[in-house]
Amino acid sequence: MIQKEIIYFGQKAIIACDEKCNKAWGINNRSRIQLDENDEDNYVWLTDGELGEAPDDPGIYEGFEMCGKPKSKEDRLNKWCCRECERCFKSSPGPIMLNNFDERIYNIPRRFII
């Protein structure tokens, strides 16, 4: 895991990731299963095991510098990571909890609590 303290919308924040850029599709590109046809936000992301390798360039860029998905270790935790990467954790300084894509991740998990 790597992490970095940044200023995000004028506030201190921590971003962190699991360093699996080869599995990072982008929050809008990662394959998902729609769970409710009447609620576009009710879906589950597929696991890393269900997907192959992510593209090196998913075609999405962030910021004035047109930051893309990192191509090297030195580029990691850039604006693309913070704004687009589904693997990136964002928080005010405090405990870090990364997504585990070994299991499907529900966009609205509270609906699946028994």
> What does the pLDDT look like over 13-72, one tens digit per residue?
999 999 999 999 999 999 999 999 999 999 999 999 999 999 999 999 988 889 999 999
Distances 113 to 37, 46, 57, 105, 108 between C-alpha atoms, Å: 20, 19, 36, 13, 10
Contact by Cβ (8 Å): 41, 28 = no
Amino acid 102 reads D
Distances 45 to 13, 26, 31, 49, 90 between C-alpha atoms, Å: 25, 11, 6, 12, 18
Kindly report, residue by residue over 75-114, the tens digit of the pLDDT: 999 999 999 999 999 887 767 788 889 999 888 766 555 4
The candidate with the shortest Cα–Cα distance to 87, out of 78, 98, 95, is 98
Predicted model pTM: 0.79
